[in-house]
Structure 1
């Protein structure tokens, strides 16, 4: 997972239109630390062309507020530069994977 450190950088990445997952986490968030490797593993196995990025919401508050992220962990998924999917706090990995499987196949295949 690559880190995003500015609002401009995030907007540029989104504007490229690639399948994109942005993971908002925090330095002191134990759930975030447990969930991150699971998300990385599942995305790399199931969605090879999806790019992964992380935003430390407690450090880069401007980015979090611009994208209305007020709790962590939060996952945003973008297809064709548009937010398609958003999950916060209690995230089921299996349900998450199933929810993005169909749109991913439509946009990528």
Structure 2
């Protein structure tokens, strides 16, 4: 999972990636730190064509606010620039994978 370096990178990823999963987290969010490697590995195994991006909301506060992130962690899934799924605060990796399965099949199979 690639860490966001700038707001421009977020816009470019959203515009240029047919499928994108964004994890909004923070260094002081223990759930985020545990979730990040598990989610990244599962996405790589099950949905290898999806781009992955990690946004540290302690660094990119304006972008997180603009995206409507009010609590952590948040996982947002985009296909062709449109948000198709969002999980906030309490969710499992399995729930995220299940939500991605159908749109992923439509776009990539």
Which range, TM-score by smaller chain?
over 0.9
When structure 1 is superposed on structure 2, of 93-102 and 48-57 the one drifting more is 93-102
The aligned length equals: 109
Gaps of 5+ in 2: none
Structure 1 segment 9-88 matched on structure 2, within 5 A: 9-88=9-88
Distance in 2 between residues matched to 1:52 and 1:13, nearest whole Å: 9
1:5 deviates by: 2.5
Gaps of 5+ in 1: none
Matched residue SS, 1:91 = coil
Distance in 2 between residues matched to 1:90 and 1:7, nearest whole Å: 26
The structure 1 segments of at least 4 consecutive aligned residues displaced by more than 3 Å after TM superposition are: none
1:25 deviates by: 0.6
1:96 deviates by: 1.6
